[in-house]
Each structure stands twice: as structure tokens, then as C-alpha cells.
């Protein structure tokens, strides 16, 4: 079937009572196609190693036995402070095989961020690279829950520090994976903390199955022959893990990996060419950086089949650029850590509409609701919500029942994101509830303004916020990162203001523009408008007191 309505209406979930991510993503393939490549890893020197499903299965068996020898039991939390590298996959699989709860952590976290997450989740054993060992040792005395660290790439062994190479080499290759329930806890992923302290979203084994329809849609009926997946997104986040790594392995599709310390567009394009990547999950910020590279098709031999993106609205300019430069439509999708990929585009069966996140993904009941949890009609702005229960939905926030309860209303999981649904079933994103600008009686979403700003030839990145104003309540203020070759002159400010006024709407143009070299972003690449707003409010208060 190639008709969206037929597929959506005919879709039925089949969630088995027992399910284990490691078995389905590794051991199953190792038994049937042991020599098939699962992971293609390029190290910092450019050397490439292929890992078969059989090799990954054996290594994760060894590590599961090593962890058992350290008295880890089902339900214990296993910290994973690693990036895109084989040990990350091996550790995750070993944790799932053992019934542990894996807690991925980002390598760029400082000591305070790590301390909060390790304390909050109660991590018992932490696997990390040698480069990050000193950060953890500096907070060791404040972490009574942490019994051992297993270090990849160096370190002298003692009671607390165990070299990864030693513990895995001496362990048995024989292991019987625990027959976990689909509802057994498997993973804690911490939210980015844009609305208060980070919260640990607890997911169970079925979360992988819940992601599959969204991967199917956002990659035009994935998998197909010769598909090969890569993302620059770190494997510490739900985007890297469950938008790419585990869905690919579930279908037996190889994943390409490299620990890129910084996203460089030319390096990324060479990497895609070198490894014949067919499928990309590319965060919006990375795509906008790629826009600065001209004549990609003539410079690189790239044969991409699909590009998916999510996290921030791309806007029409980036979509048109991709069609012209790469000959592809970007399938934008929408989700969040608590319920991921619930809305998506799928250019193979319906046209991609600029400024739209797409339509509800097969199997997910997604609507627009009001503050009382009532469904709203087409064209009326409200909060995006997904009906519970849902296989992709989290079990709740770790040790935070109050926050979990606030996340739901009338059986709907509230996302906190504002949008409207048009008559064709497309979701049109406005912004987070706390990002909406109220100016002169108008409710203005920042995404549309930012999209328009990006169409101006001088603008590389843009963010729009509401600045307090005595007359209008708020005015629109834009923060702009200029492209190379443009000077932050007053004439350019006026030109950009008029550009938005003429192309968007007179009440939505930015009455103030501030040029800046950077924008505050979460580690996953989302603009933190709240931080811009906070600084702007402080400025206004200081001026009022002068």
C-alpha cells in the first residue's frame, strides 16, 4: 500500500509479552547471518574496522559476564559515558541482555552535570573513555552509589578502576540472554533540561518496537536494498540510539560510526562519500551548516536515498536547498524523549509541506488539545498530544511521580509544544508553549519568523523571542548569526527587518535585531530561546533601574 490513509487506518500493533532489544538487534542475526556486517567503525586516524553480528554478539556476551562478576543484577543502572564507538554498542547490548537499566551520558558533560545524573539514577557501574576518567574521579567522593568505573583505552586497575580490555578479554563468550518482558525497564535518557532540572525518562524494552513505524515513514519505507545508516548525532541521545542505531540493527542494516569531536560540513560529506551512506539522520543545525557548501553534487560522489531531521523546524529555505543540491526531500519528523517520532513526513507517499512536521506516524494517535485535554478542530492552535497507552511512550520520570502526573491530562501525553492541524492532516509547528510571543494581541510562533530570516542571503542561524515591551506586552526580537562575508551594520538590520515585514507579516517582523557570533543551544542542537529571553529580561530590568 502506498496511500497514507490506508496504511494509517490499517495499522495494528503486535507487541509480544516478552521482548529483548539485544536479542532482536544482535543475537537473532548472529544465529542466522553471523558474517553479516553490523557496524562499520572509522577511528580518529581514518582506519576502518567492520564488526559482524557474530563478533558483536560474542563481545557483548563477554561484557555481560564481566558485569555479572561485579555483582550487577537485574534492575541495576549501568552508566555509559561513551560516544560513537564499538564499546558503546557492546555495553548497551550487554546491559539489555542482563536486564539492567542503561543510562547513556554525553561525553561533553562537565563534572556537575555528570554528578547530578549519576546520583539521580543511582548508577552502580560506569563505562567511560580514559579521557573522561579525571572528571569522574573529581566527584567520586560525592557518588556513594558508584562502585566501579570500567575504562576504555587506558588506566591502571585498582578496586575502583577496571580496564575495559582486561575485564572483557578474561570473560566467557557463553551467555543466555534474560527473557525480559516488553514492559521491563531498559533505559533512562535524561531530558535536555530546557524547562527545569533534567528529568530521567524511563523506557522499557518495547520502546524499540514503538520507534519502528516512525523510522519507516521518515526514511521512505526503511529498509531497502543497500541501505546504510549514519548520523552525526551522538549515541548518548535518543536520536542517535533509537532514530538510527537500534532500528537499523533490528532490520539487519549496517550502521556507520565515527567519534567526530566537531561537526565540519566538508568532513561529513567526505565521510558520507567514503562509506556509501544511503540514509542520514541529520539534526537541523548540521543541515543548516551544510547549506554553506556549494556544488555538493559536483564535489562529492554521494548517493543518498533518504535524509530525516528532527528537533527544530527546518524551514522552507533549507528544504529547497536540499532539493536543489542533493535531489532529495528532507523528511522532517517530530517527537521528544518521552515519546519519540510520533509525527513525520514521508515524501514517498505524500508531498513534504514547508514548515510542517508531517502527519501522525502509523500506530500513534496524535492530536491538538486545549489546556483541559479536549481535542481542537482543524486550524486551531493548541498543544500537541499523543494518546496513552502507546508503545513508544515512556513509563514515567525516574523517581519523579509528580512530574510524570503533570505530563498527562485526560489520557493524553502533553508535549508542551504548540501547533495546529490543517485539513490535510499536516501538523504545523509554532513553538514551545513558553516560546510563544504575545505582541499587541497577536500570538506569534518563533519558527515562522526564523524560517523567513533564514531566507535572507546574509543569515546563517536565527532565533526569535519576545522582549518585554510596555506598549505591546512583547515585541519580536531576533538574534542573528551572519554568514561569512557580511558585516553587522545598521543598514543590514533595516534590510532584514523590511525583508521579514514584506515576506511574512507586518506584525511579525523583528522590531529589534542583535547580531551575535553564537546562539545558546542544547547539546542536541536545539536553540535555547529561554536563555535568550532570560538575558533580555535582565537587560530590560537593568535599564529600568538606571
pLDDT of residue 316: 83
Q: Which three cell numbers stand for residue 521?
A: 543551544
Cα(50)–Cα(43) distance, integer angstroms: 11
Boundary of a domain, candidates 205, 240, 275 = 205
- Cis before residue 223, ω within 30 degrees of 0? yes
Instruction: Burial-class residue 419 by CB neighbours within 10 Å (0-12, 13-18, 19+).
Output: buried
Residue 20 backbone phi and psi in degrees, to 5: -135, 125
> Would you say residue 297 lies in a domain?
no
Neighbours of 130 (CB within 10 A): 14
Boundary of a domain, candidates 161, 189, 205 = 205
Cα(354)–Cα(434) distance, integer angstroms: 23
Angle between helices 446-454 and 490-503 in degrees, nearest 10: 120
Three-state DSSP class for residue 305: coil
Q: Which three cell numbers stand for residue 397?
A: 520520570
Neighbours of 241 (CB within 10 A): 27
> Would you say residue 473 lies in a domain?
yes
Cα(241)–Cα(524) distance, integer angstroms: 13
Number of folded domains in the chain? Answer: 2
pLDDT of residue 541: 80
Cα(323)–Cα(192) distance, integer angstroms: 31
DSSP state of 483: P
Cβ(448)–Cβ(483) below 8 Å? no
Indicate the helix (H) or strand (E) that contains 538.
helix 529-545
pLDDT of residue 194: 47
Which candidate, 387, 455, 380, 448, places its Cα nearest to that of 419?
A: 380
pLDDT of residue 210: 98
User: Per residue in 62-98, is it b (16+ CB within 10 Å) or e — as a string?
Assistant: bbbbbbeeeebeeebbbbbbbbbbbbbbbbbbbbbbb
pLDDT of residue 506: 76
Per residue of the chain (546 residues), give pLDDT as tens. Answer: 679 999 999 999 999 999 999 999 999 999 999 999 999 999 999 999 999 999 999 999 999 999 999 999 999 999 999 999 999 999 999 999 999 999 999 888 888 889 989 999 999 999 999 999 999 999 999 999 999 999 999 878 899 999 999 999 999 999 999 999 999 999 999 986 544 578 999 999 999 999 999 999 999 999 999 999 999 989 998 999 999 999 999 999 999 999 988 888 999 999 999 999 999 999 887 887 888 888 898 899 999 999 999 877 777 888 889 998 999 999 999 999 999 999 999 999 999 998 899 999 999 999 999 999 999 999 999 999 999 999 999 999 999 999 999 999 999 999 988 899 999 999 998 777 667 787 866 667 787 788 889 989 999 999 999 998 877 778 999 999 999 999 999 999 999 999 998 887 777 899 999 999 999 987 667 788 888 988 888 888 887 644
Residue 306 backbone phi and psi in degrees, to 5: -145, 150
> Would you say residue 446 lies in a domain?
yes
Cα(436)–Cα(500) distance, integer angstroms: 18
Cβ(436)–Cβ(443) below 8 Å? yes
CATH number at residue 84: 3.40.50.12780
> Would you say residue 153 lies in a domain?
yes
Residue with C-alpha cell 542475526? Answer: 29
Q: Going by DSSP bridges, is the β-strand pair 123-129/77-81 parallel, antiparallel, or unpaired?
A: parallel
Boundary of a domain, candidates 140, 174, 205 = 205
**Rg from Cα positions in the chain:** 24
Cβ(155)–Cβ(163) below 8 Å? yes
Instruction: Burial-class residue 9 by CB neighbours within 10 Å (0-12, 13-18, 19+).
Output: exposed
Residue with C-alpha cell 522532517? Answer: 332
DSSP state of 161: E
Torsion of CA 283, 86, 222, 415, to 10 degrees: -40
Side-chain-side CA neighbours of residue 372 (13 Å): 2
Show Cβ contacts of residue 469 under 8 Å, excluding neighbours closer than 6 positions: 439, 475
Which candidate, 419, 413, 306, places its Cα nearest to that of 357?
A: 419
Show Cβ contacts of residue 331 under 8 Å, excluding neighbours closer than 6 positions: 217, 218, 219, 220, 306, 307, 308, 309, 344, 345, 346, 347, 352, 358
SS3 of the chain: helix, strand, coil, percent, to 5: 35, 25, 40
Three-state DSSP class for residue 444: strand
pLDDT of residue 84: 96
pTM of the model: 0.84
CATH number at residue 493: 3.30.300.30
> Would you say residue 321 lies in a domain?
no
> Would you say residue 363 lies in a domain?
no
> Would you say residue 272 lies in a domain?
no
Domain that holds residue 161: 17-205
> Would you say residue 326 lies in a domain?
no
Q: Which three cell numbers stand for residue 99?
A: 536486564
Cβ(151)–Cβ(137) below 8 Å? no
Instruction: Burial-class residue 153 by CB neighbours within 10 Å (0-12, 13-18, 19+).
Output: middle
Q: Which three cell numbers stand for residue 171?
A: 570473560
Amino acid at each position: 500500500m502506498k496511500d497514507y490513509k490506508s496504511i494509517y487506518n490499517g495499522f495494528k500493533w503486535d507487541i509480544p509479552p516478552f521482548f529483548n532489544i539485544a536479542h532482536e538487534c544482535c543475537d537473532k542475526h548472529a544465529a542466522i547471518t553471523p558474517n553479516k556486517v553490523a557496524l562499520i567503525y572509522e577511528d580518529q586516524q581514518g582506519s576502518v574496522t567492520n564488526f559482524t553480528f557474530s563478533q558483536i554478539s560474542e563481545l557483548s556476551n563477554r561484557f555481560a559476564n564481566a558485569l555479572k562478576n561485579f555483582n550487577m543484577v537485574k534492575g541495576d543502572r549501568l552508566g555509559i559515558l561513551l560516544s560513537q564507538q564499538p564499546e558503546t554498542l557492546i555495553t548497551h547490548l550487554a546491559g539489555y541482555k542482563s536486564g539492567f537499566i542503561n543510562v547513556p551520558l554525553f561525553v561533553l558533560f562537565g563534572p556537575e552535570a555528570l554528578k547530578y545524573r549519576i546520583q539521580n539514577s543511582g548508577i552502580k557501574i560506569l563505562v567511560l573513555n580514559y579521557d573522561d576518567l579525571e572528571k569522574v574521579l573529581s566527584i567520586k567522593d560525592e557518588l556513594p552509589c558508584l562502585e566501579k568505573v570500567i575504562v576504555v583505552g587506558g588506566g591502571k586497575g585498582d578496586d575502583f578502576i577496571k580496564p575495559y580490555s582486561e575485564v572483557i578479554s578474561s570473560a566467557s563468550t557463553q551467555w543466555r540472554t534474560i527473557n525480559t518482558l516488553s514492559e521491563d525497564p531498559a533505559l533512562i535518557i535524561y531530558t535536555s533540561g530546557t524547562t527545569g532540572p533534567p528529568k530521567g525518562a524511563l523506557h522499557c524494552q518495547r520502546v524499540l518496537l514503538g520507534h519502528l513505524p516512525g523510522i519507516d515513514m521518515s526514511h521512505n519505507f526503511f529498509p531497502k536494498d543497500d541501505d546504510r545508516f549514519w548520523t552525526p548525532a551522538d549515541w548518548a541521545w535518543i536520536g542517535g540510539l533509537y532514530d538510527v542505531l537500534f532500528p537499523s540493527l533490528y532490520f539487519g542494516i549496517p550502521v556507520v560510526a565515527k567519534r567526530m569531536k566537531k561537526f565540519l560540513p566538508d568532513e561529513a560529506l567526505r565521510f558520507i562519500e567514503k562509506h556509501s551512506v544511503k540514509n542520514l539522520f541529520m539534526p537541523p543545525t548540521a543541515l543548516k551548516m551544510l547549506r554553506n557548501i556549494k556544488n555538493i553534487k559536483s564535489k562529492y560522489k554521494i548517493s543518498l536515498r533518504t535524509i530525516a531531521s528532527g528537533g527544530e523546524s527546518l524551514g522552507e529555505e533549507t528544504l529547497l536547498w536540499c532539493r536543489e543540491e542533493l535531489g532529495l526531500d528532507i523528511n522532517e519528523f517530530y517527537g521528544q524523549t518521552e515519546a519519540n517520532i510520533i509525527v513525520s513526513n514521508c515524501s514517498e507517499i505524500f508531498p513534504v509541506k514547508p514548515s510542517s512536521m508531517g502527519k501522525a506516524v502509523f500506530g500513534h494517535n496524535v492530536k491538538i488539545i486545549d489546556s483541559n485535554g479536549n481535542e481542537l478542530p482543524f486550524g486551531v492552535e493548541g498543544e500537541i498530544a499523543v494518546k496513552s497507552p502507546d508503545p513508544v511512550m515512556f513509563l514515567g520520570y525516574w523517581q519523579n511521580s509528580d512530574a510524570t502526573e503533570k505530563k498527562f491530562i485526560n489520557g493524553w501525553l502533553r508535549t508542551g509544544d504548540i501547533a495546529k492541524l490543517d485539513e490535510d492532516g499536516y501538523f504545523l509547528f509554532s513553538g514551545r508553549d513558553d516560546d510563544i510571543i504575545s505582541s499587541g494581541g497577536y500570538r506569534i510562533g518563533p519558527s515562522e519568523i526564523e524560517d523567513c530570516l533564514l531566507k535572507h542571503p546574509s543569515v546563517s542561524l536565527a532565533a526569535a523571542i519576545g522582549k518585554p515591551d510596555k506598549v505591546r506586552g512583547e515585541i519580536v526580537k531576533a538574534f542573528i548569526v551572519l554568514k561569512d562575508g557580511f558585516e553587522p551594520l545598521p543598514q543590514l538590520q533595516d534590510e532584514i527587518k523590511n525583508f521579514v515585514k514584506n515576506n511574512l507579516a507586518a506584525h511579525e517582523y523583528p522590531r529589534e535585531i542583535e547580531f551575535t557570533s553564537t546562539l545558546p543551544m542544547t547539546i542536541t542542537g536545539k536553540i535555547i530561546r529561554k536563555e535568550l529571553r532570560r538575558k533580555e529580561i535582565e537587560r530590560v530590568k537593568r535599564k529600568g533601574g538606571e
